[in-house]
Amino acid sequence: MTGTVYLVGSGPGDPELLTVKARRLLDEADVVLHDKLPGPEILGEIPEEKREDVGKRAGGERTPQSEINARMVELAEAGDDVVRLKGGDPFVFGRGGEELAYLAERGVPFEVVPGITSAVAAPAAADIPVTHRDHASSVSFVTGHEDPSKDESAVDWQALADTGGTIVVLMGVGKLPEYTRALLDAGMDPSTPVALVEKGTRPGQRVATGTLETIVDARDEAGIEPPAVTVVGDVAGVREDLR
Q: How many CB atoms lie within 10 A of CB 50?
A: 15
Ramachandran angles phi, psi of 30, nearest 5°: -80, -35
Q: Label residue 212 exposed, middle or buried (CB < 10 Å: 0-12, 13-18, 19+).
A: buried
Cα–Cα dist 229/173, whole Å: 7
Q: Which residues are the active-site residues? A: 35, 56, 171
Query: Could you give the CA distance from residue 55 to residue 9 in angstroms, rounded to a whole number?
Result: 14
- Residue 31's CB is within 10 A of a number of other CB atoms, namely 21
What is the DSSP code (8-state) at residue 186?
Answer: T
Using CA of residue 126, residue 129, residue 130, residue 135, what is the dihedral sign?
negative
Please spell the DSSP secondary structure of 71-128, one letter per residue.
HHHHHHHTT--EEEEESB-TTSSSSHHHHHHHHHHTT--EEEE----HHHHHHHHTT-
Alpha-carbon gap, residue 87 to 76, rounded angstroms: 21
